[in-house]
Amino acid sequence: MVALNNNPHRAVVEYQVRRAVYQRLGRPLPRFAAAPNPLVVNVSARHCHLTEAAVEILFGKGYKLTPFKWLYQEGQYAAKESVTLIGPRSRVISNLRILGPCRNFNQVELAYTDAIALGFEIPLRCSGDIKETAGGMLMGPAGFFEMPVGVIRAMRHVHMHPDDVKFYGVKAGDEMKLKIGGSCGLVLDRMLVRADPSFKLEVHIDTDEGNACNLQPDTPCELIN
């Protein structure tokens, strides 16, 4: 299997075309085109982050993850490897995708619909904040790995470069809103701002949020303070 060379996100192409058109016409840029970066909104389906040690237990000694699809954030990928998550009532989710590269903690991110199907009680947490959360059992081709904690619903959030933070007038830890249009549109309140010089402007919502508004590549989205 070869890692895919992704096409650019539709929002990125639209942003570039619109800027070019406004500049060509000599018109002032409207706010969405004046922003330093295109707004990309992606739905994160259920997935997990694993340590190298957990990967070795699940897949075998010395095993390394293989990138399958590059994600929008630099260096992040969906691995070709997946695991089976076994819930407290022995119900399972198979093909739980692993996102790479490895981290220094183990974490499973589910939507509430997934958690209810599995029989998990999961808290809403910022990624990495897994103290006193539910655990679970992962199964891979080489073995089982028990996570004592780490099953969460990730808080909806926006990754921002310092240029974006400045343009939108916010700071890390603030909350913004995301307005999503279309025939079943909605406004997501309380979207956490995460900022880092390595980040590209991108909102991550889960499958419940994405399906509640039927988010498609051409659905209009707007960040609101």
Number of H helices, E strands in the chain: 6, 14
Q: By CB neighbour count within 10 A (0-12 exposed, 13-18 middle, 19+ buried), where does 173 fall?
A: exposed
* Interacting span for a second copy (CB under 8 A) from 22-30, 59-67, 87-95, 203-211: 203-211
Task: Give least dist CB 112 to a second copy, A.
Answer: 4
Q: Counting contacts by CB under 8 A, is residue 211 touching a second copy? A: yes
Residue from 19, 186, 220, 222 in contact with a second copy (CB under 8 A)? 186
Of 153 and 161, nearer to a second copy (C-beta) is 153
Centroid of chain to Cα 37:
18
- Contact call for residues 129 and 224 (beta carbons, < 8 A): no
Q: Counting contacts by CB under 8 A, is residue 220 touching a second copy? A: no
What is residue 37's DSSP assignment?
A: S
Q: Counting contacts by CB under 8 A, is residue 46 touching a second copy? A: no
Q: By CB neighbour count within 10 A (0-12 exposed, 13-18 middle, 19+ buried), where does 164 fall?
A: buried
Of 161 and 204, nearer to a second copy (C-beta) is 204
Q: Counting contacts by CB under 8 A, is residue 138 touching a second copy? A: no
Residue from 11, 96, 98, 111 in contact with a second copy (CB under 8 A)? 111
Q: Counting contacts by CB under 8 A, is residue 224 touching a second copy? A: no
Question: What gap in Å lies between CA 123 and CA 154, rounded to an integer?
Answer: 8
Question: What gap in Å lies between CA 65 and CA 53, rounded to an integer?
Answer: 12
Q: Counting contacts by CB under 8 A, is residue 116 touching a second copy? A: yes
Residues in touch with a second copy (CB under 8 A): 111-113, 116, 124, 153, 155-156, 183-190, 206-209, 211-212, 214
